[in-house]
Structure 1
Amino acid sequence: MRSVITTHILDTHSGRPAVDVEVRLFKSASADVSAPDWQPMASARTNDDGRIIDWLGDRQREAGLYKLEFATGAYYAAQGLSTLYPQVDILFEINAPQEHYHVPLLLAANGYSTYRGS
């Protein structure tokens, strides 16, 4: 079953999925981006395809401010490498709770980017 919020990490240096990366999902109890009150929702590790697709099960979708927290430092350390970004946080807002939100991370040791996927 696909979760209401999913993610995928591609290591752009190796051109392969980033496997076994810890990712934590939070929702803010506040709608104020300048003063979020983060509440933990879920934690999981990316699978062999670099994805997390099942961490929320069939929970109801809610509008609001969310954060994905990627443990990128531990991922690179396990490979004997260092990174400029030991943790990547992606904040995003759900305005249409009936829609699916896929938030991928394109990762390199010294840079990253994201977009809304499908």
Structure 2
Amino acid sequence: MNNTNAISLSSHVLDTAKGTPAANMPIELTCPNGDKVSVTTDSDGRCKDWQQTEFVAGTYQMRFHTKQYLLEKHSGGFYPFVDVHFDIVEDGGHYHVPLLISPYGFSSYRGS
């Protein structure tokens, strides 16, 4: 298979209340066909290993399981998880989906 137009995906979770990466946070990726891939952020709050998932155009969902992290780092929080839905529409390219989390707020955007 020619990977010159391969689609890649990464994520980075940052704790905006502490100003640190959110390490060891589980993320579940749901692909357009319904397949699910479970991963965990590394020590820098990053994830780019999706277990050899082949990305195609369609709508994806990342579920960031924030509850345990917020309990451990902040003694609790409002969001047990955060779902981010996004479309991959290009025939190739890199997609980056960051999550900024705090006990009572979150934000996401298309990164680079």
Q: Give the TM-score normalised by structure 2.
A: 0.86
Q: Which residue identity is paired with 2:73?
A: Q
Unaligned runs of 5+ in 2: 1-6
What percentage of residue pairs aligned between the two structures are identical?
38
Displaced runs of 4+ in structure 1, greater than 2 A? Answer: none
1:61–1:97 Cα contact (<8 Å) kept:
no
1:6–1:53 Cα contact (<8 Å) kept:
yes
User: Are 2:25 and 1:21 equivalent residues in the alignment?
Assistant: yes
Distance 1:45 1:103 in 2: 14
1:4–1:56 Cα contact (<8 Å) kept:
no
Unaligned runs of 5+ in 1: 30-38
Give the deviation of 1:42 after TM superposition. Answer: 1.2
Distance 1:22 1:49 in 2: 13
Pairing partner for 1:81 from 61, 75, 84: 75
Distance 2:26 2:91 in 1: 25
Give the paired residue count: 106
Equivalences for residues 36-115 of structure 1 within 5 A: 39-57=34-52, 59-79=53-73, 81-115=75-109
Q: Give the TM-score normalised by structure 1.
A: 0.82
Distance 2:54 2:26 in 1: 23
Q: Which residue identity is paired with 1:69?
A: R
Describe the SS at the equivalent of 1:91.
Answer: strand
Q: CA RMSD in A?
A: 1.6
Describe the SS at the equivalent of 2:71.
Answer: helix
